[in-house]
Structure 1
Amino acid sequence: MSLRKPWLFLPSKLAHDLSPYGLELYSLLKGSDTTPVWNPFSFKNLIFKNRLGIAGGVDKNADHLEAWRRVGCGFIEVGTVTPQPQSPNPGVIMNRDVQAQAVWNKMGFPSEGAKEVYYNIKKFKSHASTPVFVNIGKNRVTENADAHKDYSELISHFSDIADTFVVNISSPNTKGLRDLASRENFTAFIAPIRKHYDDLKLTQPLFLKLSPDLDQEGQENVLKGSMDHGFDGFILTNTTLDRTHTPHFPTEGGVSGKPLKEKSIQALNSAKNIILKQNEKKCLISVGGVMTADDVFERISLGADLVQVYSTLVFEGPGFFRKVSKLATLRQQDSAK
């Protein structure tokens, strides 16, 4: 472990709890009011000055939006937000493996609830143009048969400030949540959400976040079903239950970081091919195992429109965004010679 990354010497939970203070301090000392521009992208009237942002789960309650903007994020995903406040799952909920560059968590959608998150986003959007994605999920006490009601309630709540909605049914940390993506349940879950969205006459893009543990048939079913209901894009992927590279982590909860890289790339390639066959234009966001600047550019070359990071920040810190920006500028200069 490098002395330049002192937080890695701390227990993972303590480092996690202190990280917001580190982020805020870093953004003031090293950040900038100007968002770095590289490989800009636009989609559905949204303008991204660069293609790199944070994934859902990093800033669950939208507490640090200004800091993320100052360190160089091209877009920010907040949440997962639940309608009512709820605490994390009991017991140990996170750990890390520095050598494997892996993070394990079973947080389970801890959230301050929709009202608090709405206030934080509205305050930020009053002066900033950085796109904000709102990742939405159900409260753990809500039965799957009624899950669509939680998602619809959140869409109504954030309808005037969310730049994009991300429907999250792929976290392994809320019991039974992934069952909503099964062939038996998916249409019954997604159809009323889409109808509610249309009834509100919303124009923001609607995204779905997928699990990396779906088999080919399962992924194809979810992708085609989502496109049938007018979804605009996909986030590939959430954390994995696979312990091939991290057998020492508990079987419950999800693993992210470098061990997720192969699954994430496979999901991206598969989704790209399925969408091409459907002859539709959708926005693809790749996340999982993006640990270096070269990884960011690799995902873009493979067809990702946008890229997100989570575990990278645990090991590299918030300076990662400016590091990628500098490399993007150098690559652009080299290509122009």
Structure 2
Amino acid sequence: MYRVVFSQVLQRLDAEDAHRATVRALAAISRVRPLNRAIHRRLAPHDPALRVSAFGVHFPSPFGLAAGFDKNAVCFEALAAFGFGHVEVGTVTAHAQPGNARPRLFRLPAQRAVINRMGFNNDGAAKVARRLARVRGVPVVVGVNIGKTKVVPESRAVADYVASARALADRADYLVVNVSSPNTPGLRDLQAVERLRPLLTAVREVTESLPRRTPLLVKIAPDLADEDVDAVADLAVELGLDGIIATNTTIRRDGVPSTEAGGLSGRPLKERSLEVLRRLYARVGDRLTLVSVGGVEDVDDVWERLLAGATLVQGYTAMVYEGPLWAARINRALSRRLRLHGHSSIQEVIGKTAPARTGRDA
């Protein structure tokens, strides 16, 4: 049914207008607590075998929603009710900003992909923090993804991230430093280890100063060279980070017939995202939690990422093409597959096909 609605109605709408309408509808469901709880009872993951623990946080399922959908923390409760084991909100910046000029979001149905150049449009850290502080009607694990405010010069980037962390860290189940979006000028330059070290160190000081320490992760781009992936992995271990999210969108256009600028997500990213995951797991093993995102479309993709060493898996783009029941279907299929293979817990699957660790401390 959804595919008919998408092809006949949604695909005719501007992609960003359709997204905004979806977010508004989900936000309305979040506000109607009895309705949201009823959806949660029906669609959220309740199978104990799907539960997974990472960096001290308990997730009802390893499959969650990547940052970029609920930028302003207005509908994360409904998203959890529809089946996501966690929701990563943002990207949030210290100061509110409108993002780049429209049009800035483009569907590529034939490639099952999306290009965006949104530019971190969001309401700002203070307003998002107030929304996250509200009493929740359903249980939901919420990660918060923070980025650099566009008008802040690179010389003030560390202070800008620290401001966001101070506003949001105690509202988050985990915090993510995003240095990998291609849509903020100069942002990806912060992935260089000599610039990333002081940034992560400063944000880590904020997360560790709280009465309840907030786990800290960094999100990297698929366009990093392999040796740079290794360098970031080594740095994350050195600094005592909790994990790495791999990967963000790509600026490459291999086999994609589009000249639009921005980050490409969806099916074309699948192969590289999996390569980066395998490289990271070979480098760090279970010393860090690895979160795999990029080209995840179905239960086969989720299963493959778990076997390759991901503790958590995220999706986003495929929901545009699969609809609101996508996460619930994946969770049901994961439950069936676990039992088919004789497993009693998702934890038994993680890293089972990964090669031996090759890092410098292996």
Q: TM-score, normalised by structure 2?
A: 0.85
- Structure 1, unaligned runs of 5 or more: none
Could you tell me whether the CA contact under 8 Å between 2:77 and 2:140 is conserved in 1? no
Q: Which residue of 2 aligns with 1:94?
A: 105
Could you tell me whether the CA contact under 8 Å between 2:92 and 2:122 is conserved in 1? yes
Q: Which residue of 2 aligns with 1:32?
A: 40
One-letter amino acid matched to 1:275:
V
Q: Give the CA RMSD over aligned residues.
A: 2.2
Alpha-carbon distance in 2 for matches of 1:11, 1:159:
34
The worse-fitting range, judged by mean Cα deviation, of 217-226 and 306-315 is 217-226
Alpha-carbon distance in 1 for matches of 2:14, 2:165:
37
One-letter amino acid matched to 1:203:
R
Asked if residue 297 in structure 1 is aligned to residue 306 in structure 2, the reply is no
1:286-319 C-alpha deviation (Å, 9 max, x unpaired): 1110012221112112111011111011111121
Displacement of 1:207 after TM fit? 0.2
1:13-60 C-alpha deviation (Å, 9 max, x unpaired): 332222224545788598223631342101232110111111010100
Q: Which residue of 2 aligns with 1:110?
A: 121
1:241-288 C-alpha deviation (Å, 9 max, x unpaired): 0011224132x3100000000110011001101103xxx521111111
Asked if residue 185 in structure 1 is aligned to residue 195 in structure 2, the reply is yes
Asked if residue 42 in structure 1 is aligned to residue 53 in structure 2, the reply is yes
Alpha-carbon distance in 2 for matches of 1:313, 1:124:
27
1:194-222 C-alpha deviation (Å, 9 max, x unpaired): 33444446522100001000001111111
One-letter amino acid matched to 2:13:
L
Asked if residue 203 in structure 1 is aligned to residue 206 in structure 2, the reply is no
One-letter amino acid matched to 1:271:
L
One-letter amino acid matched to 1:290:
V
Could you tell me whether the CA contact under 8 Å between 1:66 and 1:124 is conserved in 2? no
* Identity of matched residues, %: 35
- Structure 2, unaligned runs of 5 or more: 344-362
Asked if residue 274 in structure 1 is aligned to residue 283 in structure 2, the reply is yes
Asked if residue 258 in structure 1 is aligned to residue 272 in structure 2, the reply is no
Q: Which residue of 1 aligns with 2:354?
A: none
Alpha-carbon distance in 2 for matches of 1:314, 1:48:
24
Alpha-carbon distance in 2 for matches of 1:193, 1:13:
32
Could you tell me whether the CA contact under 8 Å between 1:159 and 1:202 is conserved in 2? no
Instruction: Number of aligned residue pairs: give it.
Output: 332
Q: Which residue of 1 aligns with 2:131?
A: 120
Displacement of 1:186 after TM fit? 2.2
Could you tell me whether the CA contact under 8 Å between 1:26 and 1:318 is conserved in 2? no
Q: Which residue of 2 aligns with 1:245?
A: 255
Q: Which residue of 2 aligns with 1:69?
A: 80
Displacement of 1:160 after TM fit? 2.4
